[in-house]
Chain A
Amino acid sequence: MERVRRSLIEPNSLPAWVQAGPFALVFLFFFIVPLVLIVAVSFWDFNEYELLPAFTPKNYLQIFEGCSKVDDLCTTVRTYLSTLKFCGLVWLVTLVLGFAVAYFLAFHIRSSNTQTLLFIVCTIPFWTSNVIRMISWVPLLGRNGLINKGLIGAGLVDKPIEWLLFSDFSVVLALVHLYTLFMIVPIFNSMMRIDRSLLEAARDAGASGWQTLWNVVVPLSRSGILIGSIFVITIVMGDFVTIGVMGGQQIASVGKMIQVQTSYLQFPIAAANAVILLALVLMIIWALTRLVDIRREL
């Protein structure tokens, strides 16, 4: 019915599929097809010169070669664990920080102009170069950087602290620096939809500030927290640029492993790793959505 009515009113209007066509074709050819190819090629064979179409599990077997021992973890498992560790740390910090910033903007800033202005202040760095934002930590964290000089000057340490730069610390710091925005935006968005009278009702019913926060604001910001978490987790799980630059190219990650294998043209192994990474990421997302649903059920 709808369709008939529309076509009567808009005799010359382009059909919807023509309008969506170019957009859909980009994703079909440059997103869906590459993903299908990754899955297919992960079962292929290869030699030094070319890829050989086949159906063999040997790429997967090679990735997990020697991984059956429990006491002595193989490289693959260690790399995955290290990536998960970064992922967990960055997720925790960005979630707490992002939630605090979003809460401040949504509930403590009363004028909507100030709110917009402060929000834009938070988003502008997102539109500048990530690599520049990473290397901008060098003059602060390096051996002779501002922080070490300050600490030595204040007599707090005798010699420069080495673990500030090109370390796990600097990787987490840079990831938090780059991606907290991905938490702030969706959480702020859900907080702005919360009916303010609910907070009043909670207060009138005698809830303390923390009780209101935990029992009203957090559950109602659920979708924002979920979206932000998915963003941050998927970015960190696949990251190789930040871990590379901020880790001084010395720290392993799954993304970096795939990148190195690709640069040696070991496409089938890289593809198998990508499939495993994708499965892991999907499992985390699934677990997150379950976790959130269960909270609602309780």
Chain B
Amino acid sequence: MSGPPMSRANARQPGFWPLAIVFGLFVLFLYGPMLTIFVLSFQGPEGGLVFPMRGVSLHWFVKLAEGIGVVDIWAAFRRSLKLGLVVAALTIVLSVLASLAFRKQLRGGNALFLITVASLIMPSIIVSLGLGLQFRLLDTGLKSLLEWLEWTDLLEGFGTSMGLYTSALAAHLTWTLPFGLLIMFAVFNRFDPAYEEAARDLGATPWQAFRHVVLPLIGASVVGVGMFGFTLSWDEIARSSQAIGDLNTLPLELQGLTTTVTTPVVYALGTVTTVVSFGVIGLTIGLIALLRWRRKD
């Protein structure tokens, strides 16, 4: 038997190569398919959904820019982008605040934590159905209220309370907030409270201690929470599906397109959304690096 993993022995442990091969195949399995549709989205105008490539062109991106059939894909793109930013901002603010509360004595803290974890592992179709039901019942209630008040003008104009910034936002938050809170827990588990105490001893107000001491120390993780919020929202389907109202988000449109569109234009759309995801990940890593670098100064 060779040495323990942390020893300086150069010989690989038995089992290294078989597992290295498994790992390599797993990475290929993860990235291979994505790579094929990236390549195929540059398919020539005559090309189809599968190989071979019939020329290389931006044809399908041009088609995408013109819109896909009756679906206004760019409106959906903008809607998802805006919703993602709102979700990211709310996820940061709410989970950082809540994690600060958990560091103090929080009555009902255990129950709140259990509920948060339950929301994370609850099958999404159940959450979605519940929210759809809730907002429909709310609609019924609002309509009868307006009838009772005899506000006929409002009543005629009233469609539904379901929408992007009501039910869909709620659906996304039930998915992103648990991730946000768990990340902040991991951060504060490794956080030395001595820094804060020092700040307080020097006469800082709680806000000053948070703003000038705690926030710079946890800044990188807060950026990470924001990235989780945005990317999870950007791709979310299951929870918003039954609670979206009249206007779909981009992934919901995309899910519909998989059955109706039979040209590489759907791959072009895939490449564009993946580029946005990667852009956000890159931006996050850049921001985190910047924050670390500024902290060193």
Contacts and interface: CB of A to CB of B under 8 A. Distances in A.
A234 B122 contact: yes
Contact of B126 (A16, A105, A138, A277): A277
The residue among B32, B129, B234 with the most chain A CB atoms within 10 A of its own CB is: B129
B207 interface: yes
Contacts of B134: 30, 33-34, 37
B133 A101 contact: no
B132 A262 contact: yes
B125 A238 contact: yes
The residue among B34, B116, B207 with the most chain A CB atoms within 10 A of its own CB is: B34
A290 interface: no
B130 A38 contact: yes
Contacts of A138: 49-50
Contacts of A134: 258
Nearest to A26: B173
Interface of A: 2-3, 6, 9-10, 12-14, 16-20, 22-24, 26-27, 29-35, 37-38, 41, 50-51, 97, 100-101, 103-105, 107-108, 110, 118, 121-122, 124-125, 127-140, 142, 144-146, 149, 177, 180, 196-197, 199-200, 203, 209, 230-231, 234-235, 237-241, 244-245, 249, 255, 258-259, 262, 267, 270-271, 274, 277-278, 281
Contacts, number: 275
Given A34-B127, A37-B137, A38-B126, A6 B36 contact: no
29 contacts: A16-B106, A17-B107, A20-B102, A26-B173, A27-B115, A30-B134, A51-B140, A100-B22, A100-B23, A104-B22, A107-B13, A127-B235, A128-B273, A129-B251, A129-B273, A130-B235, A131-B255, A131-B258, A136-B36, A136-B37, A144-B50, A177-B30, A180-B26, A209-B14, A209-B15, A239-B123, A255-B123, A267-B133, A277-B125
Interface of B: 1, 4-6, 12-16, 19-20, 22-23, 26-27, 29-34, 36-37, 40, 49-51, 93-95, 97-98, 100-102, 104-109, 112, 115-116, 118-119, 121-127, 129-134, 136-137, 140, 170-171, 173-174, 177, 181, 200, 205-207, 227, 231, 234-235, 237-238, 241-242, 251, 254-255, 258-259, 266-267, 270, 273-274, 277-278, 280-281
